[in-house]
Amino acid sequence: MFIFILASCKDEEPTPPEETDYSLCKAAGYDYDPAAITDYELVWSDEFDVDGEIDKTKWGYDIGGSGWGNNELQYYTTDLNSWVENGNMVIEARKENYMGNAYTSARVISKNKGDWLYGRIDVMAKLPTGVGTWPAIWMLPTDWRYGSWPNSGEIDIMEHVGYDQNVVHGSIHTKFFNHSIGTQRSGTRVVDTASTEFHKYSIEWLPDRIKFYIDDFNYFTFHPNRQVSCPTVGQWPFDMRFHLLLNIAVGGNWGGAQGVDETIFPQRMEIDYVRVYQSEFITNLQKG
């Protein structure tokens, strides 16, 4: 009987592993070399060449002071806290009582005026400084096709918290990768002159990865297919159009983790330019 069992096991053919059907996966199955993309063209930009109000054909505002889901302290206004001056967009956070909030600031958005799927986005900016400041250059989905945050995604091109001066963060948030459950995917880089000089903060957003840059140095790449063999929308909701947001928050769960120094205000983030490039090759890229 023992010999029979051995013979039976020897005769069985092993089951071959199933091949992944990448047509069913997000951010997988593309065959291309990102380094070989040569056809990026400028499709949208603001050089901030005209002083005064921001260009309302390109930008709008998020307005309010409800804490913005992060227990932030500022009330976001419109032109009171954002304008163009000396060739730069200025976003200024101030300590002043307004609409029941102790601080004011601005959150400038390109929603429905600049919305993109894939591309290279460059923002040349000089950051505020001081404990309690929380500037960000980031992106949210325009249409929220996969549901409310974080299911439809968030791309943080640049975040900086004043209590950790000169440490710049780039992150993504999705259903399965987000800060509320401690699983966000992030990279950091020290920029010694983040608040005294202008630096270029960029992403290259491709169909299967997002590459983060500071001054053209790639310091972090989010590539979900390196983490799971067949990503789902829970790991990659980044196949829908997104828009830009530029803001300074005051305090909040992260920015105010070590309090707010009331003596530092006003504080400014200055933006020299915003440029968006897209590649026809990437726009038309198919799997396989």
For residue 152, with 0-12 CB atoms within 10 Å meaning exposed, 13-18 middle and 19 or more buried, which class applies?
Answer: buried
Does a structural domain hold residue 7?
no
pLDDT for 14: 46
pLDDT for 18: 52
Beta bridge partners of 116: 242
Domain of residue 197, CATH code: 2.60.120.200
pLDDT for 158: 99
User: For 142-197, how does the pLDDT look when each residue is reduced to its tens digit (9 = 90+)?
Assistant: 999 999 999 999 999 999 999 999 999 999 999 999 999 999 999 999 999 999 99
Gap between the Cα atoms of 62 and 64, Å rounded = 7
pLDDT for 11: 44
Structural domain count of the chain: 1
Residue 227's nearest CA partner among 26, 57, 30 is: 26
pLDDT for 21: 66
Our answer to whether residue 159 is catalytic in this structure is yes
CA dihedral 178, 182, 187, 191 (to 10 degrees): 110
Does a structural domain hold residue 13?
no
Does a structural domain hold residue 136?
yes
Burial 3-42 (b: 16+ CB within 10 A, else e): eeeeeeeeeeeeeeeeeeebeebbbbbbeeeeeeeeebee
Does a structural domain hold residue 71?
yes
Does a structural domain hold residue 6?
no
The DSSP code for 255 is: T
**Token reading at 266:** 């006003």
pLDDT for 24: 86
Does a structural domain hold residue 146?
yes
Does a structural domain hold residue 14?
no
pLDDT for 7: 40
Gap between the Cα atoms of 116 and 246, Å rounded = 16
Gap between the Cα atoms of 117 and 110, Å rounded = 14
pLDDT for 3: 40
Q: Which of 72, 92, 154, 204 is catalytic?
A: 154
pLDDT for 4: 38
pTM greater than 0.75 (yes/no): yes
Low-confidence stretches of the chain (pLDDT beneath 50): 1-11, 13-17
- Alpha helices (runs of H) in the chain, residue ranges in sequence order: 2-11, 280-283
Our answer to whether residue 154 is catalytic in this structure is yes
Does a structural domain hold residue 12?
no
- Amino acid identity of 279? S
Q: Which domain holds residue 246?
A: 22-283
Q: Which of 159, 197, 204, 270 is catalytic?
A: 159
